[in-house]
A and B are shown apart, each in its own frame.
Chain A
Amino acid sequence: MGAGHTHALYVHEHSAVHRMAPPAKLVAALGMVVSIAVTPREAVWAFGIYAFAIGVIAVFSRIRLRFIAVRLLAVAPFVLFALFIPFIATGETIEVIGIDVSVAGLWGAWNVLIKAVLGASVSILLTATTEIADIIRGLGVLRVPAIFISIATFMIRYLELVSDELSRMRIAMTARGYDPKWISQTRPIASSAGALFVRSYERGERIHSAMVSRGFTGEMPALQHRIIAPSEWMAVLVVIVGFAGTASTALVLT
């Protein structure tokens, strides 16, 4: 029960990218996203290089491009917004299929579109090749403050329990003939949200008791992680140098 949600992002495969140490993958992903973000929008060739590199990594990871494309729908709202920019922006215009659009607006739309798509592709690759718990452990290795690690750990652990609880409540309501059609009939939904909050709060208290019972005094013990091999850091270095090099060249040229 409840195996979905947090694991929907992960694709079980046995590739070199899957096996790579999570902290190394996190550093590489961060380097890639920062490089993409700082690249000037006019350097279209640079984005071509990024897209090609991401495609190569996806092939190495045995992640199908179709999987990435479907996941990319998550950025659709931002992209939709970007599509309006050429029509709203002012300044010099250019005629595209009979409609006058702003040149600056076109560049703005391109900027949002390409960076959103490439940046999201990097995160999709990261989460498809790394289990969510390993990402959290990796953040711990990278010295992200312990309090953030704890919050993320608990959130992921209990998100599924809370959503299971929610679906049981929904089933219980449906079983007693609840079938809302009008806004005035949504009152039970609001009160069930309240009940869920109280239940979660009480669970929080019980978990805290369980932690204190085992000697918890306010500091979580470090999560497990394995030693990262020098070859893994080398791979990270290659990726970052490639992306950062492309970004720097683009910055210098434009």
Chain B
Amino acid sequence: MSASVHIHGVEFAYPDGKKALNGVDLEIGPGERVAVLGPNGAGKTTLALHLNGILEPSGGSITVGGLPVVETNYAEIRRMVGLVFQDPNDQLFMPSVREDVGFGPANLGISGEELAKRVDTALDIVGGGEFADRPPHHLSGGEKRRAALATVLSMTPDVLVFDEPSSGLDPAGRRDLIETLAGLPMTQLIITHDLPLALELCDRSVIMNQGRVVADDATRGLLRNDDLLAANSLELPYGFDHV
């Protein structure tokens, strides 16, 4: 249900030569929820794409639940690690939500009754029963986000990685999302600029900057360190000076 993630000295450069990761070290225990904070271009999304082998590091290593993230393990790694992308439109590409939620398990070779059961269970968790048979472009922003989460939950992942899960959501949609995430037992890595969300959901946060982890501590402690926040282009919302 939940697995540990070990990231050791991971380096990566894009084909244009831009170095995105400069030796990232990060240990996450099973069932832990960790926020990844940092300015734009810090390498947060690039790191997320390494956790299931979409991008391969040029140096260092990653293991998930003890399994190295290498090509021979990709099939199992992609079952174990559920990536929820920033734009749900990138994640919902099938004609209906139900088919989209079934896409992952179908790729795992599941079909028939078992597939239908997986899809229903995943949709239940996000409360998506009412939009299951609608095409994705008829969904609201919040519904799209929930549907996108369901598409990875149907693969029964052990680790969930979210890229900016609350961006573009209205306050009610954001509240629903926070409650859903709080109720999930999997290990979670939440990339976000939403500091109150990080504080509410994650006891621990890391700050990334220029392709490195520059701070790794209790979220509350990090958010109290004004100098650290300022040095990493982070700022608490107005009125949140005393966390």
**Which A residues have a C-beta under 8 Å from some C-beta of B?**
1-3, 133, 136-137, 153-154, 156-158, 160-161, 203, 206-207, 209-217, 221-224
Would you list which residues of chain B between 90 and 146 have a CB under 8 Å from chain A? 90-91, 93-96, 98-99, 102-104, 106-108, 135-138
Give the distance in Å from the alpha carbon of A158 to the alpha carbon of B95 in the complex: 10
B interface residues, Cβ below 8 angstroms from A = 49, 52, 54, 75, 78-79, 81-83, 85, 87, 89-91, 93-96, 98-99, 102-104, 106-108, 135-138, 151-152, 155
Q: A212's contact among B54, B99, B136, by CB below 8 Å, is which?
A: B54
Given contacts A3-B137, A157-B137, A216-B107, contact A206 B83 (CB under 8 A): no
Bound together, the chains give a CA A222 to CA B94 distance in angstroms of: 11
B50 to chain A, nearest CB (A): 12
Shortest Cβ distance from B20 into chain A, in angstroms? 15
Beyond the given A209-B49, A210-B93, please list 17 additional residue pairs across the A-B interface where CB-CB is below 8 A. Answer: A153-B94, A157-B95, A157-B135, A157-B136, A206-B85, A206-B87, A207-B90, A209-B85, A211-B103, A213-B83, A214-B152, A215-B78, A216-B107, A217-B107, A221-B102, A221-B107, A224-B102
Could you write out 9 A-B pairs with CB less than 8 Å apart?
A: A2-B137, A133-B96, A137-B95, A157-B93, A161-B137, A209-B49, A211-B103, A213-B52, A222-B106
* Residue from the list B91, B106, B135 in contact with A210, Cβ < 8 A: B91
Which residue from B78, B135, B136, B137 sits with its C-beta under 8 Å from A214? Answer: B78
> In this complex, which of A157, A213, A223 has the most chain B Cβ atoms within 10 angstroms of its Cβ?
A213
With A133-B135, A157-B93, A157-B137 in contact, is A214–B54 under 8 Å at CB? no
List chain A residues, Cβ under 8 A from B138.
Answer: 3
Q: A156 and B95: CB pair below 8 A?
A: yes
Known: A3-B138, A153-B95, A224-B98. A210 touches B85 (CB 8 A): yes
User: Which 10 interchain pairs have the tightest Cβ spacing?
Assistant: A221-B106, A133-B95, A215-B107, A214-B104, A206-B90, A213-B83, A210-B91, A215-B78, A209-B54, A210-B90
With contacts A136-B95, A153-B94 known, is A161 near B89, CB below 8 A?
yes
State the total of A-B contacts with C-beta under 8 angstroms: 82
Q: Tell me the smallest distance from the CB of B111 to a CB of chain A, in Å.
A: 8
Closest to B133 in A: A224
Contacts A157-B137, A217-B107 hold; do A207 and B93 have CB atoms under 8 A apart? yes
- CB <8 Å contact, B85 and A214: no
Give Cα A153–Cα B94 distance, bound, in whole angstroms.
7
Closest to A214 in B: B104
A133 CA to B85 CA, complexed, in Å: 24
By the criterion CB–CB under 8 Å, are B93 and A215 in contact?
no
Across-interface contacts of B91 in A (CB, < 8 A): 207, 210
Q: Shortest Cβ distance from A183 into chain B, in angstroms? A: 35
Q: Closest approach, in angstroms, between the C-beta of A203 and any C-beta of chain B? A: 7
CA distance A153 to B99 in the complex (A): 12
Q: Complex formed: what's the CA distance from A224 to B112 in Å?
A: 10
Which of A137, A160, A213, A216 has a CB less than 8 Å from the CB of B137?
A160
| Residue of A133, A136, A224 with highest tally of chain B CB at under 10 A | A224
What is the minimal beta-carbon distance from B160 to any residue of chain A, in angstroms?
12
**Chain B residues, Cβ within 8 Å of A209:** 49, 54, 85, 90
Q: Which residues of B contact A153 (CB under 8 A)?
A: 93-95
* Residues of A with C-beta under 8 A to B103: 211, 214, 216, 221
CB distance from A193 to the nearest CB of B (A): 21
Which partner residue on chain A sits nearest B138 by CB separation? A3
Q: Output the nearest chain A residue to B108 by Cβ-Cβ distance.
A: A215
Contact of B78 among A2, A206, A213, A221 (CB under 8 A): A213
- A137 CA to B94 CA, complexed, in Å: 11
Chain B, residue nearest A205 (CB)? B90
Alpha-carbon gap, A157 to B85, bound state (A): 17
